[in-house]
Structure 1
Amino acid sequence: MSRALDDDVKRAIKQGDYEQVFGRIADALSQQLPELLEIEMLGRSHMADGQTILLQDGPAIAVPKLRLVQAFLFARRLLQKHVEEGVRDGINGEGPVLRATAVILLMDPEHLTAANTRKRLLQDTIKAGKDVESRLYDEQYLIDSLLTSRLHRHTKSPTLWSHRQWLMQHFQDHGLEIDATNTMKRVISVAAERHPRNYYAWLHARYLTKAVSETASREDVAGMLEAAKKWALAHHDDISGWAFLMFFLDRHPEYAGSVVSEATRLAASFHWRNESVWYFFRNIAARPWCDRDCREGVESTRLALLSGVEEKTDGARFLEQASSWIQTYSVPV
Structure 2
Amino acid sequence: MSRALDKDVKEALKHGDHRAVFDEISGALTNSSAELLEIEMLGMSHVFDPSTTLLQDHNAIAVPKLRLVQAFIVARQIIIAYLQGKKDGSDDVILRATAVILLMDPEYLTAANIRKRLLQNKMHNGDDVTTSLKSEKHLVDSLLTSRLHRHTKSPTLWSHRRWLMDQFKTQGLGITAEEDIKKIITVSGERHPRNYYAWCHARYLANALLTEYPAQEEGLSRTIAVVKQWSFAHHDDISGWQFLMFLLQKHQMDTQPTFTKTLQLAESFKWRNESVWYFLRYIFAASTCLTDDDREEFTRIRTALWETAAEDSQDRHTLDAVQTWLSQQG
**Residue by residue, what CA displacement relative to the aligned partner does 1:257-289 show, whole Å, maximum 9, x if unpaired?**
111111111111000001111111111111143
Aligned positions of 1:1-333 closer than 5 A: 1-47=1-47, 49-85=49-85, 87=87, 95-216=92-213, 217-293=216-292, 294-329=294-329
Instruction: Name structure 1 gaps, 5 residues minimum.
Output: none
| Cα separation, 2, equivalents of 1:219 and 1:292 | 24
CA drift of 1:307 comes to 2.9
- Report the alpha carbon displacement of residue 43 of structure 1 after superposing the two structures with TM: 2.3
SS of corresponding position for 2:158: helix
| Offset at residue 226 of structure 1 (A) | 1.4
Give the direction of change, closer, same or farther, for the CA distance of 1:99–1:194 in structure 2 (3 Å limit).
Answer: same
Given that 2:181 and 2:205 are in contact with CA atoms closer than 8 Å, whether structure 1 keeps it comes out as no
Deviates more, 1:251-260 or 1:266-275: 251-260
**1:247 CA drift (Å):** 1.5
Deviation string, structure 1 residues 214-238 (Cα, Å, up to 9, x no partner): 2231221022111211111100011
Please give the per-residue CA displacement for 1:71-90, whole angstroms capped at 9, x wherever unaligned: 00100010111111174985
Change (3 A) 1:194 1:18: same
Change (3 A) 1:121 1:315: same
Q: Secondary structure of 1:213's match?
A: helix
Shift of 1:328: 2.0
| Structure-1 separation of matches of 2:56 and 2:180 | 25
What SS is found at the alignment partner of 2:210? coil
Q: Distance in 2 between matches of 1:292 and 1:204?
A: 33
Tell me the distance in 2 between the aligned counterparts of 1:288 and 1:260: 10
Q: Is the 8 A contact 1:46 1:52 kept in 2?
A: no
Provide the C-alpha distance between the structure 1 equivalents of 2:152 and 2:94, rounded to a whole number of angstroms.
Answer: 24
1:48: Cα distance to partner?
5.1
Deviation at 1:184, TM superposition (A): 1.3
Q: 1:289 to 1:129 in 2, by over 3 A?
A: farther
Contact kept, 8 Å, 2:221 with 2:251, in 1: the verdict is no
TM-score w.r.t. structure 2 length?
0.94
Structure 2 unmatched ranges of 5 or more: none
Is contact 1:109-1:157 (8 Å) kept?
Answer: yes
- Report the more deviating stretch, 298-307 or 253-262: 298-307
**1:85 alignment partner, SS class:** coil
The 8 Å contact of residues 268 and 305 in structure 1, kept in 2 or not, is answered as yes
Identity rate, percent: 53
Q: For the Cα contact (< 8 Å) 2:81–2:88, is it kept in 1? A: no
CA contact (8 A) 1:306 1:319 kept: yes
Please give the secondary structure, in 1, of the residue aligned with 2:286: coil
TM-score, normalised to structure 1, is 0.94
User: What SS class does the counterpart of residue 50 from structure 1 fall into?
Assistant: coil
| Preserved contact between residue 89 and residue 121 of structure 1 (Cα < 8 Å) | no
What RMSD, in angstroms, separates the aligned Cα atoms of the two structures? Answer: 1.7
The structure-2 alpha-carbon separation of the partners of 1:212 and 1:89, relative to structure 1 and needing over 3 Å to count, comes to farther
- SS of 1:150 mapped into structure 2: coil
2:184 maps to a residue whose letter is: V
Aligned residues: 327
